[in-house]
Amino acid sequence: MQLVIASGKGGVGKSTVTASLLYLLKDEYRFVAVDADADAPNLDLLLGVEHWEEERELVGAKVARINTESCIRCGICQERCPYDCIKVIDGDYVVSELTCEGCNVCGLVCPVPGTITLEEVRSGVVRKTTTRYGFPLISAQLDVGRPNSGKLVTEEKEWAKKLMGELGLKHMVVDSAAGIGCQVIASIGGADLTILVAEPTPASLSDVQRAYKVVQHFRQPAYLIINKADFNPGFMALREWAEAEGIPILGEIPYDRAIPRSMSMLKPFVEAFPDSKAADAMREIAERVREEILR
Amino acid sequence: MQIAVSGGKGGTGKSTIAINLAIALREHYDLVLADLDVEAPNDHLLLGVELANEEPVELFMPRFDYQKCTRCRKCAEVCEEHAIITMRDGTPFLMPNLCSGCAACEIVCPVPGAILPGKKLMGHTYLTETPYGFPLVTGRLLEGEERAMPIVSRAKKRAQGLEKELLMVDTAAGTSNTVSKALEDSRLIIAVTEPTPLGIHDGELILKLAKLMEVPAMVVVNRSDLGDVAKVREIAEKYGAEVIAEIPYSENIIRSYVEGKPIVLTDYPEAGLFREIASRVVEFLGGGE
Ligand code: SF4
Ligand code: SF4
Ligand code: SF4
Ligand code: SF4
């Protein structure tokens, strides 16, 4: 089974919840964890990973380059670039490598053949390790300024599938990226279900509603975990929304200083502070995941 | 001129800092705030306003006229996104989800009229007046669409079009090229980070991006009592940035957030911190009255 944990935006504790859930399920289930937030991966940090067993460079990303020698400075490329990535610097037409999407429109419209070339650049790395908890983790890191590509996530999931075959693992748990863009779509697409994590604030509600639309797009079931549940007592809209949509609430985690403290210790909070209120709540959630999802 | 508020990872309080700073800065500049976190825009929620003046962002999407198409496959070959698949006889089909709207296929198609300019809705931009004396421009990607870039670029243009003295952009988290697009043309980047190992890790990436883009950066440490600020200083120094403020974890900030009342407008002591950040920014930009 492939399950995804998503939130619509970072900062609501999705990865800390994921790390603790993995910790609680590790003895009973055989799974591979995938950190699909290639833009800002952190599951490895939360699981205390210190080195990678294997790293693969991902090339694939493309950027345009302009040969200033043959360029006749007609400006057509700049006019036609759909994303405004071509600037004039000291009289030369220059592609901004950090924003170029690599579509090659400039190359197609340039009247001087060979002046604009599309070059492959590294988009990031995909890497694998075995965590100290015994299960493998696949993670990726996008290089600074590269397109926030869903391809990286697809690559990660393919590697994870291969590992499942090799190691006889039953499940894949994907910690999705923030937002609702291509990485999230690549995370949720092809999964069996999504667990949404949200906190009771208007901003988090708005974000999770958007993530839920992506889940609906793929016609998957969704569950909800409410984090920092007691943080905003008057705010009922999150629970009401879940109820109206028929999204089962797997549990509510109270705000607990143990969570930020465990993050500095680079450990799942259920491991670092097993006696905390948050850990109690998390164990109940894991129980429901066992009963209702992983049966 | 433009400045940007950015942060390595989500949830560091970037938007809270952006809106409070905007409110503090409006005393110095005629400004517009642009929320370019188009996958999860929240500044309007923090400012307590409803998005207004919606404008669609539509992208080109090829439509094939199969009467005219000669099945030469050129369109499929040129598509960097592999959004066009061809049947065995060369008949092209579009997979709309993969299409980036770049129009390369239309440019190469040798048969006039075989590719018609269809349109697809990618999201919206908004221009909302706020009760704080500056407008807010918001970009919002449609759920189910993958490409944030066109929305970021269009929302930014809309904000630039207002020709205010200061354009303040609030970017998405991370360091992908949509963040670079938002940061582009900034005179200053305010990098918001937390002093935790995760925050420091991600904060370093944004400083790296600032350096690559040759934009000076200043660091604001949020929830500064939840970790090791000395480490943040070390990283900041490595990239030639200065830590200009430390904002401790504060119930008051949370309360003001929950009440929808920006902290900078309250009497809480934290308000002073934001005014100080604002004066550092004004000092750096050397402007305003
Ligand atoms: S490849 Fe596309 S995005 Fe890059 S500069 Fe050329 S036209 Fe612009
Ligand atoms: S279209 Fe070609 S020749 Fe014209 S400015 Fe661009 S690179 Fe130079
Ligand atoms: S518009 Fe660009 S991405 Fe879309 S099908 Fe044509 S070439 Fe491919
Ligand atoms: S390039 Fe034009 S003519 Fe050739 S297959 Fe595509 S649509 Fe048909």
Report ipTM for this prediction. 0.76
> The pTM is what?
0.82
pLDDT at residue B11 above 80? no
Amino acid letter, residue A5: I
Cα–Cα distance measured from residue B76 to residue B86, given in angstroms and rounded to the nearest whole number: 7
Are the Cβ atoms of B146 and A150 closer than 8 angstroms? yes
* A153-185 pLDDT per residue, tens: 889 999 999 999 999 999 999 999 877 877 888
Mutate to test the pocket of ligand 4, among B61, B69, B86, B99 (most ligand atoms within 8 A of CB): B69
pLDDT at residue B22 above 90? yes
A7, A18, A85, A103: which to substitute to probe chain B, counting the most B Cβ within 10 Å?
A103
Given the CA of residue A116, which atom of ligand 1 is nearest to it? 6
Cα–Cα distance measured from residue A218 to residue B15, given in angstroms and rounded to the nearest whole number: 30
Q: Rg (Cα) of chain A, in Å, rounded?
A: 22
pLDDT at residue B289 above 60? no
Are the Cβ atoms of A203 and B254 closer than 8 angstroms? no
Cα–Cα distance measured from residue B213 to residue B209, given in angstroms and rounded to the nearest whole number: 6
Residue A113 structure tokens? 């053949």
Given the CA of residue A86, which atom of ligand 1 is nearest to it? 5
A181 chain-B contacts, CB cut-off 8 A = 39, 141, 146-148
Mutate to test the pocket of ligand 2, among A65, A69, A71 (most ligand atoms within 8 A of CB): A71
Are the Cβ atoms of A98 and B213 closer than 8 angstroms? yes
* Alpha helix positions (H), chain B: 14-25, 43-47, 74-78, 104-108, 149-161, 177-183, 197-212, 229-238, 251-258, 270-285
A40 chain-B contacts, CB cut-off 8 A = 8-10, 173-175, 202, 205
Mean pLDDT of B140-167: 91
Are the Cβ atoms of B40 and A207 closer than 8 angstroms? yes
* A201-247 pLDDT per residue, tens: 888 898 899 899 989 988 899 999 999 988 777 889 999 999 999 99
A142 chain-B contacts, CB cut-off 8 A = 174-176
Cα–Cα distance measured from residue A221 to residue B2, given in angstroms and rounded to the nearest whole number: 43
Residue B228 structure tokens? 């090791």
Q: Give the residues across from A225 on adjacent strands.
A: A197, A251
* A41-91 pLDDT per residue, tens: 889 989 999 999 999 998 878 899 999 999 999 999 999 998 889 999 999
User: What per-residue confidence (pLDDT) applies to A1?
Assistant: 92
For the residues of B257-287, what is the DSSP string, one character each?
HHTT--GGGSSSTHHHHHHHHHHHHHHHHT-
What's the whole-number average pLDDT of chain A? 90
Cα–Cα distance measured from residue B188 to residue A97, given in angstroms and rounded to the nearest whole number: 20
